[in-house]
Chain A
Amino acid sequence: MENKDGVTIVVFSGDMDKVMAAFNIAVGAAAAGKETTMFFTFWGIKAIQKGNLTGRSFFGRMMGLLNRGGINRIGPSRFNFGGIGRWMFKQMMKMHNVTSLEELRKIAIDMGVKLVPCQMSMEVMEIGREDLIDEVAEPAGVATMLEAASRSAATLFI
């Protein structure tokens, strides 16, 4: 493998705080000129969804309703309190002039960070390509993730 200097991040969590850490690291890596790839799997898919309702089957629709995606809809892993925590965090971030999660994601995209959705999670949760933001790469599986990892100096699972 040519260079082993990249950064690969598996985003498994759909919690606002963990997703924020993931994007923060990705942006930092891209800023240092590293080839950066983020794989979104399971709950992590929520961070790259447009935010519309999803699902075809009964279970799929229920999941789409109770576990609705979209980067502005996800709440913190602690102190969410049915959305109040999320609102509070956003206010505090604004107060301290911290970049919003959506803006951070846009910066990552602009800097060339590759966002790869996990095909299997999409199938299970009945989330289609059209439910994801346009900027994501082709959905892929574990072999693609491992190939990126083999070209990376750091691989993180968040």
Chain B
Amino acid sequence: MAQEIKADVKLNLEGLLCPIPVVKVSQAMKNLPLGGILEATATDPGVLTDIPAWARSSGNELLSIERKDRVIIFTIKKTR
């Protein structure tokens, strides 16, 4: 988990609730090239289950997701 993942784009989703985090992630992913990595921070606890589900159903790879106090940080690699 602690290994460095270099993000191509960073997104701040703090304070946003369902379904906006998923919407913003999908929009940001559209502008990434294949293999590109997105890193985002969020505060909605629903993100912990929603982002992995979104990655599975959209065909992208969730590289990491972790919670640090109230902030959740995750990285996704564009694979489709």
Contacts and interface: CB of A to CB of B under 8 A. Distances in A.
Most buried by A among B16, B18, B19: B19
Most buried by B among A31, A98, A111: A31
A107 B58 CA distance: 18
Contacts, number: 39
Given A107-B23, A111-B23, A31 B54 contact: yes
A99 interface: yes
Contacts of A97: 15-17
Interface string B9-50: 000000111111011011100000000000000000000000
B16 A31 contact: no
Nearest to B24: A31
B3 interface: no
Contacts of A104: 19
Contact of A31 (B17, B25, B59): B25
Given A27-B19, A27-B23, A31-B27, 20 more contacts: A24-B18, A28-B19, A28-B23, A28-B54, A30-B26, A31-B19, A31-B22, A31-B25, A31-B26, A31-B54, A32-B54, A32-B58, A33-B26, A97-B15, A97-B17, A99-B17, A99-B19, A99-B20, A104-B19, A111-B26
A32 B53 CA distance: 9
Interface of B: 15-20, 22-23, 25-27, 54, 57-59
Given A27-B23, A107-B23, A33 B17 contact: no
Interface residues of A, number: 15
A96 interface: yes
Nearest to B54: A32
Nearest to A27: B19
Contacts of B27: 31
Rank and list the top 5 A-B pairs by shortest CB-CB distance, nearest first. Answer: A31-B26, A32-B57, A32-B58, A31-B22, A28-B19
